């Protein structure tokens, strides 16, 4: 796991190494073990790399890396979990390897299969390949969008990096995207392709960008798109295959030459991963969790059940209000893009590092693909509300209750409206008031958000629509993004077995009527592992991985008059803490003012 950066199509060679070094140095927390730089002698390509070593810890894993004929160069961030199988296939075809790294496998896979090789990779990855023979460079991002990759194109020059902070370091006066606050206050995060910087966007997941080094022009193309091909219509078959494929996925995700452990919250997903990891790691099973002074946030009782069952070496770390405020400046510094969440990821990965772990497994993704959220089972009520006249839906915006206000999002009769009803933050009129702009300006941004959801989504099964937006909007733009930049800030890799490619393809080949059940959330997952998953774990009310943020944030001092209004609502328990936090982060002065008081 690493951080990468590069510049393609540049005209000034004299400053290129300094520019790329500025970017990689800005991301050094995500790659503390090694650094590398490559500039081609003939082509306008410069690569930078910061390494966090997990597979092949030797110098043979150094990047940027070239093949033996120096025809292909790569700078790569990620882990390929099926690299051994691909490596063996390539060896059978006559290829020779000098290292045991997955990086070298990507190079020779490309030499053998070209861009078709990308679809063979099962893992999380973002990389750039220089193909000297065909005089082109490629940017590639994994099928699930687990690892980030941003780029900017201007006047024939293309710049890319793993984090937004790299672009700001490269050019301190880089223009801010004037629309980002509107998106942020609507969603609580920045939905792709929106970033805080003008003309900087993420490469879409499951796609690659091809840059022609002769013309300095580029194009993008999708290489993977998850299909809905419901070939599994029998529940027993589905149960058997889910059990086999997830078990195999966990085994793959445990491959590492560095210390690896698991987050154990006590919920279904982390408990199941811990149980499945036990046969592979044996007595080396290490788990960690976070505990609080407030008992209502504690899941220790359920964690202890799994610890006793597996014999895991477990560490619990206490977080209280003073701890939160002590580390808040560093949390704000770690936040590469604003998010209403991410603080929990900061602390769990911070303590994973202190525990001596370099990588950890997380249960992220299970709720989105197996129907773990309440949103999966509100579809009937939402469809009834959609039948109301638009004028009635719009009037919901003037209701004093925020939950009722969100009904106004349904006036577009769209999947985006469904999503914002379930997870939206401020309404269009509230955002306009906060930002002192017109309702029309914010409505334009909201209507532009409808484009985030392709037309075919409207034709999906009702629960499948929810799975789509929970996975492609909420998980993609908040959970994965937060997990990545917070974990890499602590030089820790987070692996997500529930987003294993083979598992994703399997899940979306199962008929929705088998996969979802309103009487028992994630029932298919539970049935697949009832033989090992204790009933005390799965037969209880869901408890998310949350902190006592509400009581802690009541101690924030408002930074202006509007913040004071929001703070008053928070104090009177009329505003959720996440909305208050979202508003604070939308004000550029918050971070500076808060840090200045430390």
For the segment 137-171, what is each residue's pLDDT rounded down to a tens digit?
Answer: 999 999 999 999 999 999 999 999 999 999 999 98
pLDDT tier at 594, thresholds 50, 70, 90: low
- Over range 171-186, report the average pLDDT: 94
Range with the lowest mean pLDDT among 73-77, 326-330, 524-528, 592-596? 592-596
Range with the lowest mean pLDDT among 53-62, 159-168, 563-572? 53-62
Q: What gap in Å lies between CA 195 and CA 182, rounded to an integer?
A: 12
CB atoms within 10 A of CB 437: 15
**What is the β-pairing status of strands 286-292 and 201-202?**
unpaired
pLDDT tier at 60, thresholds 50, 70, 90: low
Query: Which of 118, 147, 112, 337 has the alpha carbon at shortest distance from 209?
Result: 118
Statement: residue 469 has pLDDT above 70? yes
Confidence (pLDDT) at 399: 86
Q: What gap in Å lies between CA 549 and CA 554, rounded to an integer?
A: 8
One DSSP character per residue, 96-137 reads: --SS--HHHHHHHHHHHHGGGGGGG--EEEEEEEEETTTTEE
Q: Where are the domains of the chain?
A: 2-222, 235-372+471-544, 374-464, 548-598
Statement: residue 294 has pLDDT above 90? no
Statement: residue 592 has pLDDT above 80? no
User: Hey, what CATH class is 2-222 in?
Assistant: alpha beta
Residue 131, both tokens: 């193909």
Distance from chain centroid for Cα 197: 19
Q: What gap in Å lies between CA 411 and CA 450, rounded to an integer?
A: 12
Confidence (pLDDT) at 59: 57
Q: What gap in Å lies between CA 146 and CA 131, rounded to an integer?
A: 25
Number of residues that this document lists for the chain:
598
Query: Which of 236, 190, 523, 269 has the alpha carbon at shortest distance from 376?
Result: 523
Looking at mean pLDDT, say which of 115-129, 310-324, 407-421 comes out highest.
115-129
Statement: residue 250 has pLDDT above 60? yes
Name the more confident of 7 and 259. Answer: 7
Query: Average pLDDT of the chain?
Result: 92
Confidence (pLDDT) at 547: 74
Confidence (pLDDT) at 1: 60
Confidence (pLDDT) at 503: 98
CB atoms within 10 A of CB 32: 14
Query: Starting at the edge strand that comes first in sequence, how are the strands of the sheet with 150-154 ordered?
Result: 34-39, 45-51, 2-8, 157-161, 150-154, 201-202
Q: Phi and psi for 493 in degrees, rounded to 5?
A: -95, 130
Confidence (pLDDT) at 338: 94
Confidence (pLDDT) at 51: 74
Q: What is the 3-state secondary structure of 261-324? A: EEECCCCHHHHHHHHHHHHHHHHHCEEEEEEECCHHHCCHHHHHHHHHHHCCEEEEEEECHHHH
Q: What gap in Å lies between CA 26 and CA 19, rounded to an integer?
A: 11
Confidence (pLDDT) at 33: 77
- Over range 477-505, report the average pLDDT: 96
User: Hey, what CATH class is 235-372+471-544 in?
Assistant: alpha beta
- Over range 124-133, report the average pLDDT: 98
pTM: 0.95
Statement: residue 556 has pLDDT above 90? no
Statement: residue 311 has pLDDT above 70? yes
């Amino acid at each position: 796991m690493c951080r990468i950066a590069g510049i393609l199509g540049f005209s000034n060679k004299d400053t290129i190494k300094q520019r790329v070094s500025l970017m990689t140095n800005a991301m050094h927390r995500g790659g503390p073990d090694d650094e590398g730089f490559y500039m081609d002698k003939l082509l306008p390509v410069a690569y930078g790399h910061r390494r966090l070593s997990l597979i092949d810890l030797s110098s043979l894993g150094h990047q940027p890396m070239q093949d033996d004929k120096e025809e292909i160069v790569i700078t790569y961030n990620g882990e390929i979990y099926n690299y051994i199988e691909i490596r063996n296939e390539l060896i059978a075809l006559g290829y020779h390897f000098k290292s045991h790294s997955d990086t070298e496998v990507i190079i020779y896979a490309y030499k053998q299969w070209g861009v078709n090789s990308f679809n063979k990779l099962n893992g999380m990855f973002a990389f750039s390949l220089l193909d000297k023979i065909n005089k082109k460079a490629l940017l590639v991002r994994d099928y699930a969008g687990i690892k980030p990759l941003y780029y900017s194109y201007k006047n024939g020059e293309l710049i890319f990096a793993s984090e937004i902070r790299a672009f700001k370091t490269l050019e301190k006066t880089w223009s801010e995207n004037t629309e980002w606050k509107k998106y942020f206050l609507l969603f609580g995060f920045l939905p792709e392709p929106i970033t805080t910087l003008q003309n900087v966007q993420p490469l879409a997941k499951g796609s690659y960008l091809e840059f022609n080094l002769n013309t300095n022009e580029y194009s993008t193309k999708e290489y993977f798109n998850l299909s809905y091909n419901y070939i599994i219509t029998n529940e027993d078959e589905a149960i058997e295959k889910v059990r086999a494929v997830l078990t195999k996925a966990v085994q793959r995700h445990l491959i590492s030459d560095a210390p690896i452990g698991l987050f154990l919250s006590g919920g279904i997903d982390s408990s199941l991963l811990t149980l499945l990891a036990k046969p592979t790691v044996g007595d080396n099973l290490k788990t960690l969790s976070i505990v609080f002074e407030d008992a209502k946030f504690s899941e220790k009782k359920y964690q202890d059940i799994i610890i006793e069952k597996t014999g895991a070496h477990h560490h619990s770390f206490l977080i209280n209000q003073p701890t939160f405020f002590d580390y808040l400046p560093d949390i704000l510094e770690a936040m590469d893009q604003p998010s209403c969440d991410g603080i929990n990821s900061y602390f769990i990965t911070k303590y994973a590092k202190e525990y001596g772990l370099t990588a950890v497994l997380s249960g992220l993704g299970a709720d989105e693909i197996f129907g773990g959220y309440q949103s999966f089972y509100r579809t009937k009520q939402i469809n009834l509300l959609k039948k109301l006249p638009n004028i009635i839906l719009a009037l919901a915006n003037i209701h004093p209750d925020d939950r009722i206000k969100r009904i106004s999002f349904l006036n577009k009769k769209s999947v985006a409206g469904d999503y914002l009803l379930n997870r939206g933050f401020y309404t269009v009129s509230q955002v306009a008031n906060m930002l002192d702009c017109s309702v029309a300006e914010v409505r334009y941004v909201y209507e532009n958000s409808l484009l985030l959801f392709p037309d075919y989504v409207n034709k999906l099964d009702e629960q499948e629509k929810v799975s789509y937006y929970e996975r492609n909007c909420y998980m993609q733009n908040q959970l994965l993004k937060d997990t990545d930049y917070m974990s890499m800030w602590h030089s820790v890799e987070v692996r997500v077995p529930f987003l294993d490619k083979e598992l994703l393809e399997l899940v979306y080949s199962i008929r929705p009527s088998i996969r979802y059940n309103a009487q028992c959330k994630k029932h298919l997952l539970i049935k697949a592992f009832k033989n090992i998953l204790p009933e005390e774990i799965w037969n209880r009310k869901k408890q998310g991985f949350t902190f006592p943020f509400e009581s802690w944030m009541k101690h924030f001092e408002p930074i202006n008059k509007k913040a004071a209004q929001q703070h008053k609502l928070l104090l009177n328990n009329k505003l959720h803490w996440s909305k208050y936090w979202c508003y604070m982060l939308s004000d550029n002065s918050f971070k500076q003012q808060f840090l200045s008081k430390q």
